[in-house]
Amino acid sequence: MDQARPTPDLIIFDCDGVLVDSELLSCRCLSDVLAEFGFALTEAQALELFLGRSTKAIEQHYRNLGQIVPDGFLPRLKSRVLETFAASLEPIPGVRAVVSELTVPFCVASSSDIDRVSLSLDVTGLGPLFDDRIYTAQMVRHGKPAPDLFLHAAAQMRASPARTLVIEDSVSGVQAGKAAGMTVWGFVGGSHYSVRDGRAILSAAGADRVYGRMSDFWKDV
């Protein structure tokens, strides 16, 4: 892709924090459910540690600390997240217009499980735009920041990684996209970046461009 307006063969959107404004809701659920099981983690710590990561990363984090997350934790977390999303989740402002106007193939590649992604898209009315073009960390061996998920999505969509554009809001997602050999744009318009310098964070992670409003999707490129 050149430095003018890019013409990718595929655009891959992350879901949480890019299509739907879910990250603060997710971190609140994680903090609350961990507390139920006797683990202390603030919402801010949850954002710092697990933004863009799968539930496997949560379990591994505590395993590295010599602690085992109880068997009932993940089902309880999933239930709490789905309940919260059904009641409160909103789309990222302007994202429907951007996706609706795309003339190149596009899909979703998310660290969340398929049930959560499907609910997120359905609740926010974005589901029909993506149909079954949804790929999740459940489908690969290694989640973000490994490149596996993005490479899998590109392969399923029959696109070259070098001709693929990724839209991500997390450090792990940016790192995964770059490791896959893709162009990555960092998006910092989600509410979880209201008190954090998202531009600096994602630029440092390697994003090729960082922008803060979906209405600016093609602006200055």
**90-142 pLDDT tens trace:** 999 999 999 999 999 999 999 999 999 999 999 999 999 999 999 999 999 99
Q: In the predicted model, what is the mean pLDDT of the chain? A: 93
What integer pLDDT is reported at residue 5 of this predicted model? 61
**Per-residue pLDDT for 56 more than 90?**
no
Determine the pLDDT at residue 178: 98
Of 160, 200, 157, 153, the closest CA to residue 183 belongs to: 160
Long-range contacts: 189-192, Cβ < 8 Å, 24+?
189/92, 189/93, 189/213, 189/214, 190/17, 190/18, 190/21, 190/22, 190/23, 190/24, 190/92, 191/21, 191/23, 191/24, 192/17, 192/23, 192/24, 192/27, 192/47, 192/51
pLDDT tier at 2 (50, 70, 90 boundaries)? very low
Residue-level pLDDT at 47: 87
What pLDDT, in 10s, does the model give residues 66-85?
998 899 999 999 999 999 99
Instruction: Fill in the amino acid letter for 99.
Output: V
The rounded percent of the chain whose pLDDT value lies above 70 is: 97
Query: What is the pLDDT, as a whole number, of residue 48?
Result: 87
CA 85 to chain centre: 15
Spatial separation of the C-alpha atoms in residues 99 and 91, rounded to whole Å: 12
